Structure formats: structure tokens, C-alpha cells
Structure 1
Amino acid sequence: MSYTIGIIGSGHIGRGLATHLAKTTYPVLITNSRGPASLTDLVASIGGSLQAADFSQTIAQADVLFIAVPWAQVPDLANQLQGYNGKILVDATNNIVSVSPFQLADTGGKPTGEYVAALFPGQRVVKAFNTLAAATLVQPSQTSLGNSVIIISGDDAEAKKEVADITRAMGFEPIDIGTFRQGGHLQDVGGALSGIELIKVNR
């Protein structure tokens, strides 16, 4: 299926996503809080289908939005996306609010994907791309055995299939671990799949 893809955030994770999405056939827009001019060097260094855009253009044109902003900014983003219902939202965030000292935000016992989905009731939220370290996301291991794995969870089965297709186009192998409740905690910080690079071996 043909999509326009948007990336919200140009930090380490946003740059990693842009690196791989720009190699696909999808038009890709990237935006941040500082405006398109601040992204000129990044877009030039990555090339491909990547274009800088302002926030309103990105959310209006994109069918699929990758969220790569700090956790504290997610509620504000939810408010800004009101009125743009029905988009697939790929939640690549982790609930880290402080690195030194290390601190996680309280999600009331919910997996972060479920927590974020509740903030975006009009969108089709899929949790993905949050388990790899930023450096690994930018440059996954090169091996002839197979491709690096991207863990996916969510309650919208069709949205997960569409995100899986995009993930394969990026050169990764998606693995669906079920609904937010079934698998979400496994991919959150401290979960069994967090911070681990897995390779799906070709048969």
C-alpha cells in the first residue's frame, strides 16, 4: 500500500528511523520543534526520500506517523493531533524521564504502548522500534544470517500488519508479540526484550 510517512522528532531515534525509512519507496517527512531549516543538514546527509517539513504539514500529509519525541512531550503531542483521526501511529517512545539519576515515568502498571494509545484514542497505535539502542537502530548488525528484529505489539491487528510491511521495507524483520497486554511489558524498559538485538535467521 502507498503511504506518506511522517517522523515527529529528530533526536537519536528519529534520525535512526529516518536513515532506514529514506531508503524505502515511501515519501518521508521529518519534523521537529525547531522547524524545517534546522533539519537541512540532516536531510542532506541521509538523502533518499527524506524531506524536512513543518509540524502541521507533516501531520496533515502523513498516513503513518512515527513518534520519536521525549516521553514528557507525548501528552502535548496528543493534544496537537486532535482532529487528525485514523492515522497509524508508531510509538517508538520509552517512559524515561531522567537518565541521571535514571527514572521511569509511572504508567499505572500499563505497558507504555497501552498508556500512549489511551492518549491518542483517535489513532491506530502500534508499539515498535523502542527496544533497540539508538546506535543499533542507526546501524544494525550486518550478517548474512538474517535481519535485525523489530518487536511489535498493539491491539489493532490490521495496523500491525501495515507497520510490519513498512518495517520489512526498512530492512528489518518484524515480530508481533501480541496485544499491548499480552506482550507490551516485554518490550518496555526493563522487559525481557528491551535493549537486545535479535536476528531472525533466514531459512
Structure 2
Amino acid sequence: MTKTIGIIGAGHIGRALATHLSQTNHPVWLTNSRGAASLEAWVAATGGSLRAAELQETIENAEVLFVAVPWNRLEELAKDFAAFQGKVLVDATNNIVSVNPFQLADTGGATTGSYVASLFPTHHVVKAFNTLAAATLALPPKNSTGTRVIFMSGNDDEAIQTVSRITKDMGFEPIVLGNLTEGGKLQDVGGPLSGIELMQVNR
């Protein structure tokens, strides 16, 4: 079953996601803070099912939205979602607010997925695609060794199933870790799966 998919954020992570999703049968809308016109050339070169769109039309029309924006933009983005409910949000963010010096935002002891879910209380958050570096995520999902694994966690089983199916459509192998609290601890920066590249070996 096809879903209209939105990608919010067109940095390295957002574009890696867009490249893979554009090769699926799902209609994919890519948006950023600078507007659709700034994306049209890249989208045309990428092709497939991808189109450039404005933020509001993406939120309104997409059933599943990948969130790939800087951490400090999440609270403002949440306001754009306030008029909607029931969207599946794939949270691909990390709470990094500075690289040099390295600094993480304070989430009050919550995992990042739980924190994001608190900002979007009427939507279904699935934490995924945040453990791999952008350059690794951009690589083909499959190679001669096997299929690259995507870790995910969430509190809503139906949302997890939806994101798992889309992840498989992209060519990756999903592994569900549990809820946003327990599974999220494994995924967050500093957790045991952060930065880990796992392949499901071909048999």
C-alpha cells in the first residue's frame, strides 16, 4: 500500500532519505526552510517519485513524515503540526546542538524520541534513521555482503509497522528495538547502537 511521504529537511540526512525514497512507489515530497524553489534543481536531477514542495502543503498532504531538521528547530516545527493529528512522524534527529565543542541538548532525562513525542503529542513518533552517519546512510542499502540495518523504536505498533514497511521498500532491513524509552536508549548519541553499522548478511 502506497503512502504519501514527506521529508522535512534537505540537509545531508534529508537528501539521503529522499534519494532512497524516490526509488520506491510512494509519492515523496521534499521540503525545507528556504522553499520549494531552492530544491527544484536537485529534485529534478534525482528524479523518481520525488517532488519539491512547501512545508505547509507537505504537512497537510503527507501521511508519513520524516523529520530531519536541526534539533533547535523542532519546537518551532511542532507549531506547524498543531492543527493536524494522527500523522506518523519518523524522527531522524539527534540532540546535537554544537559539534565544536561537542554539546548535546538537555532532554530532562528523556530519550530523544520521547522528547520529540512530547512536542508532537497528537502524532505517532517512530525513532529511526538517526544512528548512521549521513555518508553511510546515503550508500546503497544493499551490497555484496548483505542489507544495511535500520534500528527503530516507538510506542505505537501500527506506526512501527508502517515505518518498517517503508524501510523495506527503501531496501533496508528494519530492526525494532522496543518503545521510545527502552529502545531509544540504545539509539541515542552515546548509546550502544549510535554510529554502529550493522548488515544482515546474505545467505
- Give how far 1:139 is off: 0.9
8 A contact 2:141–2:171 mirrored in 1? no
Unaligned runs of 5+ in 1: none
Q: CA offsets, 1:80-131, max 9 Å, x none?
A: 1001100100000000000111000011111100010010001010000000
Alignment match, 2:48: 48
- Give how far 1:45 is off: 2.2
Spell out the pairing of 1:61-76 with structure 2 (5 A cutoff): 61-76=61-76
- Give how far 1:147 is off: 0.7
TM-score (norm 2): 0.97
Local SS of the residue matching 2:39: helix
**Matches of 1:3 and 1:116, distance apart in 2:** 22
- Give how far 1:142 is off: 4.7
Alignment match, 1:153: 153
- Give how far 1:183 is off: 1.3
Alignment match, 2:14: 14
Paired residues, number = 203
Q: CA offsets, 1:33-80, max 9 Å, x none?
A: 101110012102211100000111101110000000000000101111
**Matches of 1:90 and 1:108, distance apart in 2:** 21
Which AA in structure 1 matches 2:176? D
- Give how far 1:146 is off: 2.0
Establish whether residue 192 from structure 1 lines up as the match of residue 203 from structure 2.
no
Q: Which runs of 4+ in 1 moved over 4 A?
A: none
TM-score (norm 1): 0.97
Establish whether residue 107 from structure 1 lines up as the match of residue 126 from structure 2.
no
**Matches of 1:164 and 1:196, distance apart in 2:** 19
Establish whether residue 127 from structure 1 lines up as the match of residue 127 from structure 2.
yes
In the superposition, relative to structure 1, how do residues 56 and 49 fare at CA in structure 2: closer, same or farther (>3 Å)? same
Identical pairs, percent: 63
Unaligned runs of 5+ in 2: none
In the superposition, relative to structure 1, how do residues 134 and 22 fare at CA in structure 2: closer, same or farther (>3 Å)? same
- Give how far 1:2 is off: 2.1
Which AA in structure 2 matches 1:17? L
